[in-house]
């Protein structure tokens, strides 16, 4: 059982230095998060090995994918925690890791939903087990079903581990119930956003701009920005009003992040993003780009032809470029970031937190993957 000895707040790096280096988490905190994630994965693997060798193997695959991303959500938990002078870093690290485990779970499930077998340029867990089934003589259809089934199981295991960790992080504190509520809300809203994303892709026309922005708030902004900041602040002892203020800033930054993600999904460099520039189009994803372009009747007609198989994805992408949707989307992201960092809620935050969130805003607008 993990104990949470009370420790003084670790000194954080100068926000100005981190801004110049395009990062907003200091090396010591990043190393502590990576070490804790590795420990969590190893413990889960050892625990599972006592009753299932195959389960232990799956956990080894899961653990091997920890900390391969930006660790943005754990960083935001720590930012929220330190903004309100939290004094027990061990608890905060556990809560930060819980959000990273949740993120890993949602990505694993998202790959199944999107029928993707590559993530960040690497084979997904589903792909590993698909290939095993193919090597065993199964048909392509059966092998993909087997791989995706394992992907669902892996995601479920990660969510279970994330919930246990989040509950443990807050246990016995004055903020126990509100921290847990914030974490559970992250799971619920991400699920609702994923559902809306899927259902919009089945429609005869793309979602409207307002619908897409609302969906992106649920699917990405809530669990990736708003609630990590909010949960970290609550764990530190912030009032509900203070936590909601920092969460509101995070929500606007999170929507901007997803808008840029939509841009990169169609106009990014596949060698940087790890995904095809046509994958969102092939899945009929309702991105902000399609929503903006579909306001023009001619494009809406072209899109119907694409959905019926008469217009190639490349032509849709070319038309999106001709209409200037990338520029419009980037301007929208800039406006969201400016609104976040110019708000009264932002100005009420400690100076270090403001600087780190400005760095976050810069990273969002300049990201290429």
Where residue 26 falls among pLDDT bands split at 50, 70, 90?
Answer: confident
pLDDT class of 273 with cuts at 50, 70, 90:
confident
Q: For residues 16 and 355, is the Cβ–Cβ distance under 8 A?
A: yes
Three-state secondary structure call for residue 122: strand
Per the CB < 8 A criterion, the answer to whether 336 and 253 are in contact is yes
Query: What integer pLDDT is reported at residue 357 of this predicted model?
Result: 92
The 10s digit of each residue's pLDDT in 237-263 is 999 999 999 999 999 999 999 999 999
Band of pLDDT at residue 48, cut at 50, 70 and 90: very high
User: Which tokens belong to 117?
Assistant: 């077998």
Class level of CATH domain 24-366: mainly alpha
Strand residues in the chain grouped as ranges (E) = 118-119, 122-123
Mean residue pLDDT across the chain: 91
Please tell me the distance from the alpha carbon of residue 180 to that of residue 201, in angstroms, as a whole number: 32
Q: Among positive and negative, which fits the CA dihedral 167, 98, 38, 164?
A: positive
Residue that the structure tokens 């809620």 belong to: 345
Percentage of residues of the chain with pLDDT beyond 90: 78
Q: Closest Cα partner for 287 from 219, 361, 338, 191?
A: 219
pLDDT > 70 fraction of the chain, expressed in percent and rounded: 93
Q: Which residues of 309-321 are buried (b: 16+ CB within 10 A; e: fewer)?
A: eebebeebbebbe
Residues 337 and 340: their CA atoms lie apart, in Å, by: 5
pLDDT (mean) for 351-361: 90
Q: How far apart are CA 223 and CA 229, in angstroms?
A: 9
Q: Is the pLDDT of residue 77 over 90?
A: yes
Backbone angles phi, psi at 168, to 5 degrees: -65, -35
Please say if the pLDDT value at position 84 is more than 90.
Answer: yes
Is the confidence at residue 18, as pLDDT, over 60?
A: no
Its pTM stands at 0.91
- Which pLDDT tens digit goes with each residue over 320-335? 999 999 999 999 999 9
From the list 90, 361, 353, 355, the residue with the least C-alpha distance to 238 is 353
The structure tokens 């994330």 sit at: 162
pLDDT value at residue 6: 47
Q: What is the pLDDT of residue 8?
A: 46
Q: Residue 20's pLDDT is what?
A: 43
Which pLDDT band, with edges at 50, 70 and 90, does 206 fall under? confident
pLDDT at 236 over 60: yes
Mean pLDDT to the nearest integer, 19-26: 59
Note the pLDDT of residue 23.
59
Q: Where are the domains of the chain?
A: 24-366
Q: What is the DSSP letter of 25?
A: S
User: Average pLDDT of 98-111?
Assistant: 96
Strand partners for 119: 122
Confidence band for 73, pLDDT divided at 50, 70 and 90 = very high
- Residues listed for the chain: 369
Confidence category of residue 95, pLDDT binned at 50, 70, 90? very high
């Amino acid at each position: 059982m993990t104990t949470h000895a009370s420790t003084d707040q670790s000194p954080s790096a100068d926000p100005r230095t981190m801004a110049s280096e395009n990062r907003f988490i200091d090396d010591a905190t990043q190393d502590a998060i990576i070490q804790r994630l590795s420990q969590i994965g190893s413990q889960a693997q050892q625990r599972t090995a006592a009753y299932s060798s195959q389960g232990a193997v799956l956990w080894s695959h899961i653990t091997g994918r920890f900390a391969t991303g930006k660790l943005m959500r754990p960083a935001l938990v720590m930012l929220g925690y330190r903004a309100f002078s939290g004094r027990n870093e061990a608890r905060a690290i556990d809560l930060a890791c819980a959000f990273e485990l949740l993120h890993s779970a949602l990505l694993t499930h998202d790959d199944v939903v999107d029928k993707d077998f590559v993530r960040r340029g690497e084979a997904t867990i589903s792909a590993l087990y698909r290939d095993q089934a193919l090597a065993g003589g199964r048909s392509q259809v059966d092998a993909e079903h087997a791989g995706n089934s394992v992907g669902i199981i892996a995601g479920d295991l990660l969510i279970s581990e994330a919930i246990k960790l989040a509950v443990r992080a807050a246990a016995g504190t004055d903020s126990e119930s509100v921290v847990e509520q914030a974490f559970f809300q992250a799971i619920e809203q991400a699920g609702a956003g994923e559902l809306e994303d899927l259902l919009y892709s089945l429609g005869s026309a793309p979602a409207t701009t307002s619908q897409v922005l609302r969906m992106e708030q649920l699917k990405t902004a809530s669990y990736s920005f708003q609630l990590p900041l909010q949960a970290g602040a609550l764990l530190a002892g912030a009032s509900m009003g203070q936590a909601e203020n920092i969460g509101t800033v995070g929500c606007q930054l999170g929507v901007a992040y997803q808008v840029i993600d939509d841009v990169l999904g169609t106009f990014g460099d596949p060698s940087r993003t790890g995904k095809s520039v046509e994958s969102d189009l092939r899945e009929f994803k309702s991105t902000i780009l399609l929503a903006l372009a579909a306001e023009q009747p001619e494009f809406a007609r072209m899109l119907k032809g694409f959905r019926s198989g008469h217009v190639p994805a490349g032509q849709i992408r070319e038309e999106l470029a001709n209409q200037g949707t990338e520029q419009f989307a980037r301007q929208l992201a800039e406006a969201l970031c400016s609104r976040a960092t110019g708000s009264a809620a932002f100005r009420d935050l400690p100076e270090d937190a403001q600087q780190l969130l400005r760095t976050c805003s810069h990273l969002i607008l300049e990201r290429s993957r």
